[in-house]
Structure formats: structure tokens, C-alpha cells
Structure 1
Amino acid sequence: MAPPSKKASNLAVRIASALVLIPVVLVAAYFGHPWFDALVILFAAVMAWEWARIAGRRRNPDDPSPGARLQVSDWASAGLLSVGIVLAALLIDRFPDIFPLGIPGWELILIGAVIAVLVTGPKHRLRALWFGLGILYVAVPSMAILWVRDDPVTGQGIELLAWILALVIVTDTGAYAAGRSIGGPRLAPAISPNKTWAGLFGGMVSAAIVGFIAGLWLDLSSPWKLMILSGGLAVIEQIGDLLESAFKRRFGVKDSSHIIPGHGGVLDRVDGLLAVSVAVAALDYFGEGSVLSWL
């Protein structure tokens, strides 16, 4: 009997990891505060570490190509600082009874990003800007998804979060399936050679279907509106994926880490979710109420 192929073995590891992680996320999301808060804050700390690990890689002087970076660099102190700032901002914002500082989380994130640049500047020079940007990239979406789960206006935070998670999952799945089966012109070959326009449209159609089903499930007066919004958010999800791919390509990295067996790092798995969470939180804020309350 022939031994199992490396691809089949890797797929088995990916499935096993997903079977462990998905129930944990769903249970924490269902119970909400403080369990979901703790899980998101933990993931945010890991993402801050992954970002600093990538951004701290120095250019290889023997290789002039843009993606050439040395494997070992001096990112550890900047990484610890980034993790500490992200943890402090989110903990103070989400647990004011334990950490009664009285400063809004958004201000803490901005202050923390500036502090990271100033502290790492003397050693890392212009690269210090990447550490500040990483704090914003990680902490703002993390706070946004916690905001979405709270949803004090309609009390439908769990429904809103379930829709977002389903949208992100089916967008990635639909994009992958359409891209592999249809192929065609590349969407952004300089950033992600495997993404195609067919994949983008496949993701949009898949997300739109999920949006319509969610609209029926939530008994919305016009599920078509949620279907259209879901298709648009699929574009945001793919943009989030491309942004993270561009960041990794800039520093010559394939995976943000190897913390999730078969999947790479946390940043690799939630890049689209980060973008969609910010978009939905912005719609909630500027629409003066939950998305579900005005659709």
C-alpha cells in the first residue's frame, strides 16, 4: 500500500485543526462577555506577535530582490512591546471594572501605536512605522468585532456575528472553488498569484446566497438588502486578504507563523474577517444602530 501523500496528510491536519478551533470560537461567541472578549484578546496578542515577527526581518544585503529578508532579526523587543500595547488597550477597554483607567479604547490604541513608533524608532528607524501600523491593524478590528458582538441597540449581537462568520467562510470557500474550477485572469498577480477574477465573483455570489439565507432566518422585511450587502462585503473580505498578502510579500514571508497546524498563523486565517469586522462596525456606527435594525 502506497503511503499517504504529503498533500493528503496536510489536508487531514487542516481539518483536525479546524474541528478543534471552530467549536471553541462558536461557544465563546455564543456566551459573549467575558468569554468571547478573552478569546479575541488572546488572538489579538498572537497577531501582534506575528506582525512584529514579520516586520522586524532585515533586508538581506546579498540579495537585492524586494522580498529578500534574513531569517533572524532583532524583532523580539518590538514584538513584546506590540503585544503589551495591544493587550493593555483591549483589556482596559473591555474590563473597565478591573482596569479603571477611564480612557476609551480607541484612544488607547492610537496612543499605543504612537508609543510603539517612538520607542522602536531609535533602533529600527523607518521600520518602526510598521510596528505602529501593526498595532492599528490588529487592535482596531479586534475592538470592532467585540463591538459587533455587544450590539446593545437590538440585542442581536450573536446573530450579527454568526452572519459575519458565515459570510467570511463561504466567501473564502466560494472564491477558492471558483478560482480552481474556472481559472482565468489573475486578480492581483503581483500580490497573490493564485487569486483570480473568477474567484472574486465566486466569493461574491457565495456571500450573497448566505446573506439571503440569513435574511430569511432573521425574518428581515427585505432579505434582498442583506444579500446585496453580503455580496459587497465579500469584496471587502477579499481586499483584507490581499492586504495581508501584500504585507507578507513585502517582507518575503509565506505564512505569518506556524501556530495553527496546517493553517499557518492567526493572521493568515482571519485577514478577511478583520476587514469585514471593521466595515460592519463602521456601518453600525454611522448608521446609528445595528445593520440588522435598518435593513
Structure 2
Amino acid sequence: MNTPPPASPVADPGAAPTYPHGRAGRNLGAAIGVGVGLAVVILASLILAKDSFVVIIAAAMVVGAWELARALRNKGFQVPLVPVGAGAVGMIVAAHQRGPEALAIAFGLTCAGVLLWRVIDPRPGSARDTAAGIFTALYPCLLGGFAAMMLAPDDGRSRLITFLLVTVCSDIGGYAAGVLFGRHPMAPRISPKKSWEGFAGSVFTCAVAGAACLFFFFGQPWWQGALLGAVVAAVATIGDLMESVIKRNLGIKDMSNLLPGHGGLMDRLDSLIMVAPLCWAVLHQVVGG
């Protein structure tokens, strides 16, 4: 008598999801190693030669623009990378040397360059490609210019470290709290692993980091830094969700596989470029310069 094969197990709809690298959903060892390596490069450049960090910002914007253009190509967009890449470098240098007015002028010239490039090299869908090029010049390149402006004053090291530390704490706090306590999805259709518990962790860690930075670096009341940190957590989360929407619409998981354990550079810049204008404006008002 033949024994019938066992029934296939039915997944419990209430069970916690499983991921190829554990509940974290990523190769945690590679992610930590790459993160530490990036931190060492950033800190070394800031400590040894502050203005050299402008080169790192410009290079990051060029790589980010390349990744975004590569992703947009999946939907038939052809971003004119030459004027966008040149404009990215120009915007970062202009912002660092001459401030917000120069950044705005450089962005306008970049948009004009994108339009001119498509006029010289017409092809089907030129209007759509021009719009994609201007979008890429705005996100991430124009937003990245605010990080370059934070570096310009004499206390630029402290401003940039504050910006980086508070924003990175949003990712770390949200990630840890989400993995440990995440139960209630924040936006399941956009980013299924992002939870309200994780957001609470982001707010807490950002508030602590912001309070410490403004007090120790600038001698400002701790509560101002805590308030800055709480707002940064919200803006960083919005930036993360925005990129998730872009990737979902483009049908991709990561912008590239440039950084093991993280995905692409834009997968790490999404929060930073959204927070940069906020941090620049707040520090400009609170600290001056």
C-alpha cells in the first residue's frame, strides 16, 4: 500500500517573514564592513584636509547621478549624463565657494546644458529625456550642494559631522528598533520592512545625537539639537520612502550593487540628500555664518 506524500506545508500568514540574510534582510557583515570603511574615509578627509571633502561630495553626486540614470534606463529614459555629470561637479564647487546663489545659478546652467544637449542630439522622446535629466540634476546633485555649503565656514567640520551623525543615527536607530521591535508597518506597499517602531527608534537616536552635537560642538541648548534630530528623523524617513517609491516604479530592488550589503550609493544617499537642506538652514540660523 502506497503511503500518500505529506501535504505541502501552508505558510502561516501570521508568521514573521524570513529573509536570505536573517531578519535584517541584508548581509549584515558586509554592510557593517562597508559602513565602517566609508566612515573612515569621510573622517580622514575631514580631519586631514577639510576642503578635500568637496571632492568626495562631488564624486558621490556624479556616482549617484549615474546610478539614477542607469535605473531610469529600465523604463526607456535616456539621461544626458555628460551635462548632468559636469553640472553636478559645478554645483558642488559653486555651492562651496559662493553659497546658495551660486548653487542656484549652477543648477540653472545645468538644466540649460541638458536642454542644449538634446537639441544638438535630437532623438525620439527628447522631451522626456530632458525632464529625466533635469530631475537627475535636482535629485541628488542640487540637494547635495547644501552639504558642500555646510563645509564652507570655519566650523564646517563640526557642521558636516553634525549633519552626517544625526542622519546616520536615523538609519541605525530605525534599523535596530525595526529589527528588534517592529510590528506595525508604516507604509507596507512602499517599504514593507519599515515600521512605526523603527521610526520611533530613529526619532530617539536622532534626538540624542542632535542634542549632543549642538551642545558640545556649538554650545547651543541641548533641546534645540533634540528638536533638530526629531525633525531630521522625519525628513530622513521621507527621503527613504521617496527612493523606495522610485525603485518600485522602476521595478528594481537596489539602485546598483556598488556597495556590498547596502546596494547602490544612492541607497545610502537617499536620506542624506533630503536632510542636507534642512541641516544647512537650521545650522545657518542657529550657529550663523
Aligned to 2:185: 186
Q: CA deviation at 1:136?
A: 0.9
Q: CA RMSD in A?
A: 2.8
Query: Are the aligned partners of 1:238 and 1:272 in contact in 2 as well (CA < 8 Å)?
Result: yes
Query: Which amino acid in structure 1 is aligned with residue 106 of structure 2?
Result: L
Partner of 2:8: none
Q: State the alpha-carbon separation in 1 of the partners of residues 271 and 55 from structure 2.
A: 21
Give, as a single letter, the amino acid of the residue that structure 2 aligns with 1:292.
V
Q: Which residue of 2 aligns with 1:34?
A: 51
**Counterpart residue number, 1:62:** none
Superposed displacement of residue 261, structure 1? 2.3
Q: Does 1:49 align with 2:66?
A: yes
For 1:54-65, list aligned pairs within 5 A: 54-58=71-75
Q: Distance in 1 between matches of 2:220 and 2:102?
A: 36
Instruction: State whether residues 97 and 152 of structure 2, in contact with CA within 8 Å, keep that contact through their aligned partners in structure 1.
Output: no
Residues 179 and 12 of structure 1, relative CA distance in 2, 3 Å threshold: closer
Shift of residue 13 of structure 1?
2.2
Work out the number of aligned pairs and report it: 262
Which residue number in structure 1 is paired with residue 146 of structure 2? 144
SS in 2 for 1:34: helix
User: Is 1:7 equivalent to 2:41 in the alignment?
Assistant: no
**Which runs of 5 or more structure 1 residues have no equivalent in the other structure?**
59-72, 97-102
Separation of aligned partners in 2, 1:218 and 1:74: 45
Instruction: Please report the TM-score for the alignment, with normalisation by the length of structure 2.
Output: 0.80
Give the gaps of 5 or more residues in structure 2. Answer: 1-18
CA 178–271 in structure 1, closer or farther in 2 if over 3 Å, else same: same
- Report runs of 4+ in structure 1 exceeding 4 Å deviation: 91-96
Indicate if the aligned counterparts of 1:52 and 1:82 stay in contact, CA closer than 8 A: no
Q: Which residue of 2 aligns with 1:222?
A: 221
Q: CA deviation at 1:104?
A: 2.2
TM-fit CA distance, 1:43: 0.8
In 2, are the aligned partners of 1:78 and 1:131 still within 8 Å (CA)?
yes
Q: Which of 1 and 2 has greater Rg?
A: 2
Residues 1:181 and 1:6: Cα distance change in structure 2 (over 3 Å): closer
Kindly, what percent of the aligned residue pairs are identical? 24
Deviations, residues 73-114 of structure 1 (Å, cap 9, x unaligned): 674x62344223322443466579xxxxxx923211123124
The alignment partner of 1:53 has SS state of helix
Q: Distance in 1 between matches of 2:176 and 2:158?
A: 27
Q: Which stretch of the first structure deviates more once superposed, 259-268 or 83-92?
A: 83-92
Aligned to 2:159: 160
Counterpart in 1 of 2:168? 169
